[in-house]
């Protein structure tokens, strides 16, 4: 290849590179139109050059004209289906934008897009034919639903926007077509654009006023320095709202500012779908400043706020000590009562017998002449006179003052009853009686003592003797011998 040829090839490649570098092409949306309707297509750039893409012939088809930079389809024909490009050469090179035109044969074109109307709202549908309304021509606007005139009450704005006059329902879903009738140069045209409308449901979360489940008012007995947990549960509603908050305060101060406090909050729901919030406040170490002050659990959402109060109170041991003292006192009282009863048993029994005789009804005599039998031995000792004096004088004198009747052998014998007595078995019998009932011992008073002194010195002997004696019936006559 010659040098001139190489220079020419290099120049051509550089020129091609520059052209490619400054070319910019964009594919735009596809417009759905139907045959027989007027359609206007605008290019974003001013004074563009329009052409038809595809095939060797890029010229515009019959019935398609460029007027004031807009591509006019007068009217749309089935043969107009395809892609159209508007080009503009500027300082930065050539820029082109392509549009798709999809032609259908029905009265109403296919829907290129879908919009949604909220159920229950008075929504609307745009006409989306801005280029037609810019012509400022006298026009008539008609809306179709599924290619039939809309039967429900509607209102239409100047720009063709259709607005529902009542709340939207599922029956309003369908394909809506905006038909614009106008006259150009004495010829009537109709422009049409369709939109698919759906009705959507929006679940509007209705906030419920929080309700404290537990506890309403809580008093927790604690000990200073210990760890304690406070719990708060509340009904939130049928859904967990993002603006639901559960937090704690101590005497009006948020727990975030107190290092001893830690919060944990979670939510759950029951079988009915009811949502509950649960919060636990942990106090790592209870100090005295946290006692007897309100500790509040705040449950807040968009519907309102509820507060649950808790109180910490120091454990009161006075009740324990009081109970302990009462128990000890009762035990000591019982022990004292038992001791007193055992110590004063004889006196109590004797007093009871005396009162019983005064307040009881007159009783029939038991038929017995004597209440006791007095027997004594006559040992050959110097003390025989003292024993005889005790058995025959002192003992009867004391007991008969208390209305006891004594039978003393030798004193109360009837004529003919005196005779020898066999005392061979008496010692053994006395041992048996002593073993079963015990024995009372008479202590001899000191010589020269007064009679009252003698009786006083042996008062326990007399009381115990009367205690072991049977009770004297109230109606028994005293026998004085």
Residues 370, 459, single domain; the answer is yes
Residue 193 in any domain: the answer is yes
- Asked if residues 233 and 216 have their Cβ atoms less than 8 Å apart, the reply is no
> What CATH number is associated with residue 221?
2.60.40.10
Q: What is the pLDDT of residue 58?
A: 79
The predicted pLDDT at position 195 comes to: 96
pLDDT-derived band of residue 317, with 50, 70 and 90 as boundaries?
Answer: confident
Residues 326 and 281 in one domain: no
Alpha-carbon distance 207 to 216, whole Å? 22
User: Higher-confidence residue: 421 or 75?
Assistant: 75
Residues 307 and 220 in one domain: yes
Domain tally, the chain: 5
Torsion 454-456-458-461 (CA) sign: positive
pLDDT tens digit sequence for 41-69:
999 888 899 999 876 677 899 999 999 99
Cα separation, 480 vs 283, in Å, equals: 90
Residue 296 has pLDDT above 50, yes or no: yes
Q: How many CB atoms lie within 10 A of CB 130?
A: 12
Task: Please check whether residue 138 lies inside any domain of the structure.
Answer: yes
Question: Which of 280, 314, 348 delimits the end of a domain?
Answer: 314
Q: Is the pLDDT of residue 384 over 50?
A: yes
Q: How confident is the model at residue 12 (pLDDT cuts 50, 70, 90)?
A: very low
Assess whether pLDDT exceeds 90 at residue 77.
Answer: yes
How deeply is 277 buried, as exposed, middle or buried, from its count of CB atoms within 10 A (0-12, 13-18, 19+)? buried
How would you classify residue 308: left for phi > 0, otherwise alpha for psi between -120 and 50, otherwise beta? Answer: beta
HSE-CB at 50 with a 13 A cutoff on CA atoms is: 22
Query: In this structure, are 365 and 352 located in the same domain?
Result: no
User: Are 127 and 159 members of one domain?
Assistant: yes
Contact 247, 263 (CB under 8 A): yes
Q: Are residues 367 and 461 in the same domain?
A: yes
209: left (phi > 0), else alpha (psi -120 to 50), else beta? beta
Task: Judge whether residue 245 has pLDDT over 60.
Answer: yes
pLDDT value at position 476? 54
Domain membership of residue 157 as a residue range: 114-200
* 11 inside domain: no
- pLDDT tens by residue, 267-285: 898 887 788 999 999 999 9
- In this prediction, residues 419-425 reach a mean pLDDT of 49
Residues 457-464, mean pLDDT to the nearest whole number: 77
Whether residue 39 lies inside any domain: the answer is yes
- Residue 333: predicted pLDDT: 92
Region of 93 please: left (phi>0), alpha (psi -120 to 50) or beta: left
Residues 441-470 have a mean pLDDT of 70
pTM here? 0.43
The per-residue pLDDT for 274 is 86
Residues 456 and 366 in one domain: yes
In the predicted structure, residue 377 carries a pLDDT above the cut 90: no
Do 376 and 461 lie in one domain? The reply is: yes
């Amino acid at each position: 290849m010659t040098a001139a040829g190489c220079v020419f090839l290099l120049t051509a490649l550089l020129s091609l590179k520059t052209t490619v570098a400054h070319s910019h092409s964009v594919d735009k949306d596809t417009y759905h139109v139907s045959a027989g309707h007027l359609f206007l297509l605008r290019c974003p750039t001013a004074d563009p050059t329009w052409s038809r893409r595809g095939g060797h012939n890029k010229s515009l088809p019959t019935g398609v004209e460029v007027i004031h930079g807009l591509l006019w389809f007068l009217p749309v024909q089935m043969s107009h289906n395809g892609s159209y490009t508007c080009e503009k050469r500027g300082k930065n090179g050539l820029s082109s934008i392509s549009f798709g035109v999809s032609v259908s044969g029905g009265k109403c074109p296919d829907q290129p897009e879908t919009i949604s109307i909220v159920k229950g709202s008075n929504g609307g549908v745009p006409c989306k034919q801005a280029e037609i309304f810019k012509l400022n021509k006298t026009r008539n606007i008609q809306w179709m639903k599924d290619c039939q005139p809309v039967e429900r009450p509607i209102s239409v704005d100047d720009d063709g926007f259709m607005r529902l006059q009542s709340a939207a329902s599922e029956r309003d879903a369908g394909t809506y077509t905006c038909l614009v009738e106008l006259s150009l140069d004495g010829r009537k045209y109709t422009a049409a654009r369709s939109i698919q409308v759906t009705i959507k449901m929006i679940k509007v979360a209705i906030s419920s006023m929080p309700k404290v489940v537990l506890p309403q008012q809580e008093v927790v007995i604690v000990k200073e320095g210990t760890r304690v947990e406070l719990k708060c549960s509340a009904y939130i509603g049928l859904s967990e709202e993002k603006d639901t908050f559960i937090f704690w305060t101590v005497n009006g101060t948020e727990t975030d500012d107190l290092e001893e406090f830690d919060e944990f909050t979670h939510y759950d729901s029951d079988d009915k779908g009811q949502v509950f919030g649960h919060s636990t406040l942990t106090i790592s170490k209870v100090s005295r400043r946290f006692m007897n002050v309100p500790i509040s659990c705040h449950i807040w959402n968009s519907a309102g706020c509820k507060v649950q109060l808790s109180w910490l109170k120091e454990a009161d041991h006075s009740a324990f000590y009081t109970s302990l003292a009462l128990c000890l006192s009762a035990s000591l009282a019982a022990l004292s009562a038992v001791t007193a009863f055992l110590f004063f048993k004889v006196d109590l029994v004797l007093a009871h017998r005396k009162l019983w005789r005064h307040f009881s009804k007159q009783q029939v005599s038991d038929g017995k002449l004597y209440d006791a039998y007095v027997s004594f031995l006559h040992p050959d000792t110097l003390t025989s006179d003292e024993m005889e004096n005790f058995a025959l004088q002192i003992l009867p004198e004391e007991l008969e003052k208390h209305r006891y009747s004594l039978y003393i052998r030798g004193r109360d014998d009837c004529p003919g009853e005196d005779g020898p007595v066999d005392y061979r078995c008496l010692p053994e019998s006395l041992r048996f009686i002593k073993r079963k009932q015990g024995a009372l011992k008479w202590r001899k008073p000191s010589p020269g003592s007064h009679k009252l002194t003698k009786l006083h010195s042996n008062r326990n002997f007399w009381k115990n003797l009367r205690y072991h004696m049977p009770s004297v019936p109230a109606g028994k006559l005293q026998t004085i011998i």
